[in-house]
């Protein structure tokens, strides 16, 4: 039996799997690819954004609640295999939770990489995805997820590294998730013209932050998967309010502004797109 092409994504917390890769995972699953999600922490330090749920009892069991939400999202996105690395959420940068001995931020890099290498060798993905060097926005757990994913890409195929954790397997491509921030700025400007409330109306909003990542190499169309992405986001009730940007954008604008997910190809054993060329398939040159 021929091994299906496999996509493995590494995310820091429950809900991250949807925000930058939800449509891509749903599309890949429907296309017959084997999709694998690795979530590094249980999300204990997250906020509870729905006032009715924001109780002391729910904060004490937040990891349990977020896992339930994650399982809901996984089912909607059609993710085939799921792994939880089991580290504690480190909280935002500068939070005392960063220093918790069980936190992902404090985890030994080699040991944490080994956990991911074992999964890579078991699942044998051609494509790995995680965050960029800044973790997207500087969260300690996102940065650590970046670090172990890059390390696993370079060591999972080396028989001298992590012996006893499975047969070596070398992924072919490594991507970072990305955004085209200018798209959101344009969407909010159009919404404001209709008299709708947007982040542009918030005090201190800085439009200069909304600059595109110039390194984007790959744009995956997800127009047919927008509703699946929204449904998966809605699973994460404790973290994502109904006023979240993906929900408030008018339906007639969604196809234009939410219909793609963006990636940067940083490592490839099968070549890169030509200068100026944009891929639309994470498995380009692998099919």
- Residue 81 phi/psi, 5° resolution? -135, 140
Is there a domain that residue 221 lies in?
A: yes
Both tokens of residue 119?
Answer: 């999964």
Closest C-alpha among 91, 67, 92 to residue 17: 67
Per the domain annotation, does 88 fall within a domain? yes
Q: Quick one: pLDDT at residue 129? A: 98
- Locate all alpha helices (DSSP H) within the chain, ordered by sequence: 16-19, 22-30, 56-60, 62-77, 109-123, 140-155, 181-193, 226-235, 245-248, 251-257
Q: How far apart are alpha carbons 16 and 13 in whole angstroms?
A: 6
Q: What angle do CA 5, 279, 16 make, to 5 degrees?
A: 65
Domain count, the chain: 1
Q: Average pLDDT for residues 96-124, to the nearest whole number? A: 97
> Once rounded to an integer, what is the mean pLDDT over residues 100-115?
97
In-domain check, residue 63: yes
148 within some domain: yes
What are the φ/ψ torsions at residue 87 (nearest 5 degrees)?
-75, 160
Q: Is residue 24 part of a domain?
A: yes
What's residue 205's pLDDT?
87
Note the residue count of the chain: 287
Q: Above 80 in pLDDT, residue 1? A: no
Domain holding 234: CATH number? 3.40.50.10320
User: According to the model, what pLDDT value does residue 2 have?
Assistant: 84
Which residue range forms the structural domain that includes residue 176?
6-180+216-247+262-268
CB 90 within 8 A of CB 105: yes
Whether residue 281 is contained in a domain is answered as no
Q: What is the pLDDT of residues 55-91, one digit of tens each?
A: 999 999 999 999 999 999 999 999 999 999 999 999 9
| Position 116 confidence tier, pLDDT thresholds 50, 70, 90 | very high
Whole-number pLDDT of residue 157: 98
- Per the CB < 8 A criterion, the answer to whether 123 and 80 are in contact is no
Measured distance CA(45)–CA(240) in Å, rounded: 14
DSSP calls for 54-97: --HHHHHTHHHHHHHHHHHHHHHHT--EEEEEEEBP--STT-GG
DSSP helix/strand/coil, 133: coil
Whether residue 61 is contained in a domain is answered as yes
Residue 191 located in a structural domain: no
Q: Indicate the average pLDDT of the chain.
A: 95
First to last CA, the chain: 16
Q: For the segment 39-58, what is each residue's pLDDT rounded down to a tens digit? A: 999 999 999 999 999 999 99
Q: Per-residue pLDDT tens for 234-253? A: 999 999 999 898 999 999 99
């Amino acid at each position: 039996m021929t091994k299906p092409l496999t996509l493995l994504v590494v995310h820091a917390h429950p809900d991250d799997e949807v925000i930058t890769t939800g449509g891509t995972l749903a599309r890949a699953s429907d296309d017959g690819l084997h999709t694998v999600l690795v979530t590094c922490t249980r999300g204990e330090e997250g906020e509870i954004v729905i006032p009715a749920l924001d109780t002391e009892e729910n904060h004490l069991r937040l990891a349990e609640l977020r896992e339930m939400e994650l399982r809901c999202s996984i089912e909607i996105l059609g993710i085939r295999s799921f792994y939880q690395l089991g580290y504690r959420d480190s909280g935002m940068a500068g939070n005392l939770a960063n220093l918790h001995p069980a936190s992902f931020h404090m985890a030994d890099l080699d040991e944490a990489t080994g956990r991911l290498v074992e999964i890579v060798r078991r699942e044998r993905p051609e494509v790995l995805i995680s965050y960029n060097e800044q973790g997207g926005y500087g969260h300690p757990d996102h940065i650590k997820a970046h670090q172990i994913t890059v390390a696993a890409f370079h060591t999972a195929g080396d028989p001298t590294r992590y012996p006893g954790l499975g047969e070596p397997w070398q992924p072919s491509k490594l991507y970072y998730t990305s955004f085209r921030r200018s798209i959101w700025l344009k969407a909010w400007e159009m919404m404001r013209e209709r008299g709708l409330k947007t982040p542009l109306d918030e005090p201190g909003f800085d439009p200069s932050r909304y600059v595109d990542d110039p390194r984007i190499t790959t744009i995956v169309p997800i127009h047919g998967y927008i509703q699946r992405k929204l449904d998966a986001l809605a699973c994460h009730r404790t973290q994502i309010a109904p006023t979240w940007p993906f929900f408030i954008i008018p339906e007639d604008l969604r196809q234009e502004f939410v219909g793609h997910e963006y990636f940067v190809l940083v490592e490839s054993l099968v070549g890169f797109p030509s200068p100026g060329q944009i891929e639309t398939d994470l498995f380009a040159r692998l099919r």
